[in-house]
Amino acid sequence: MKESVMIVDTNGRMIGTMDKMAAHKTGMLHRAFSVFIFNSKGQLLLQQRALNKYHSGGLWTNTCCSHPRLGEMTLTAAHRRLQEEMGMDCELTEMFQFSYRHEFENGLIENEYDHVFMGICDQLPVPEPAEVADFKYVDADQLMFELLERPELYTAWLKICFEQVLNMRYEIF
């Protein structure tokens, strides 16, 4: 089954739909979301993307991310994917949106209007192996250091939005 994404304008308003892979090949701006789960110690739950992902396989990234389905509210999609990828769920709060564009070596382009959600959860994840190779909890300071010293280990979108997530994190603790 082919997946579609919602094509949006620069304000995040839907203006059409497109096959997901076609959107990534042409670089069309589309709706996405990223979920950042912290435990009660303030550590961020990272996942290592499965090696066979269509881009960024094997790289470390935020807890989960994806695209809402047509007609699906973005918050509902964030809960769905948190369950599908990490086998967990918790209360989520949308903190901000941002847009980014990144071209990958394989020719695909991420051009996303990204809704960023955060939550606090001490539930141990049960990752889906087709989506997630590994997971770990990291302290924010350690991740900031790693992003500077070893950026090649992390996804483009994590490097772009983590500092803002870190600043916003204090609003939920």
Active site residues: 65, 112
Q: φ, ψ for residue 154 (rounded to 5)?
A: -125, 155
The answer to whether the beta carbons of residues 62 and 34 sit under 8 Å apart is yes
Q: Tell me the three state secondary structure of residue 53.
A: coil
Q: What are phi and psi of 43, to 5 degrees?
A: -85, 140
Q: What is the 3-state secondary structure (H, E, C) of 109-164?
A: EEEEEEEEEEEECCCCCCCCCCCEEEEEEECHHHHHHHHHHCHHHECHHHHHHHHH
Rounded to 5 degrees, φ, ψ at 27 are 80, 25
Region label for 51, one of left (φ > 0), alpha (ψ between -120 and 50) or beta (otherwise): alpha
